[in-house]
Amino acid sequence: MSRAHVIVRRSGVLWGLPASGVEGVERHAGGIRVRLAGGGEWLAEAVVTLAADLEVRRPPASVARRLPAGAAGLALLGGQPVVVAGRMEVAP
């Protein structure tokens, strides 16, 4: 399984979307639309980068319950936290 992720900024938070689930990226009024392979989409403020090898960690339960809906774990990218999306069918 690929560990590559498309990193987007959404509501000030960095999100890592598994690259294997991203079908396309296009400009959208006021931001970026990320089309998902499962037919859904994410709206984001910006695409930050493609992280070729993002190491995703499961947070402790005390942290996990405070993460946004749809989060599968956390990672660090350049010292900044990234919330990694789990289910890619619909945007949280």
Q: What is the per-residue pLDDT across 3-44, written as a single tens digit (0 to 9) for each?
A: 899 999 998 999 999 999 999 999 988 899 999 988 889 899
The answer to whether 31 and 44 are in contact (CB under 8 A) is: yes
Name the pLDDT band for 87 (thresholds 50, 70, 90). low
Residue 82 in this model has a pLDDT that exceeds 50: yes
Which has more pLDDT, 59 or 26? 26
Average pLDDT over residues 69-83: 91
Domain boundaries, the chain: 5-85
Q: Give the global pTM.
A: 0.86
Average pLDDT over residues 34-62: 91
Residue 89 in this model has a pLDDT that exceeds 70: no
- The side-by-side arrangement of strands in the sheet containing 71-77 is 46-51, 5-10, 13-18, 80-85, 71-77
d(CA 92, CA 87): 9
d(CA 41, CA 89): 8
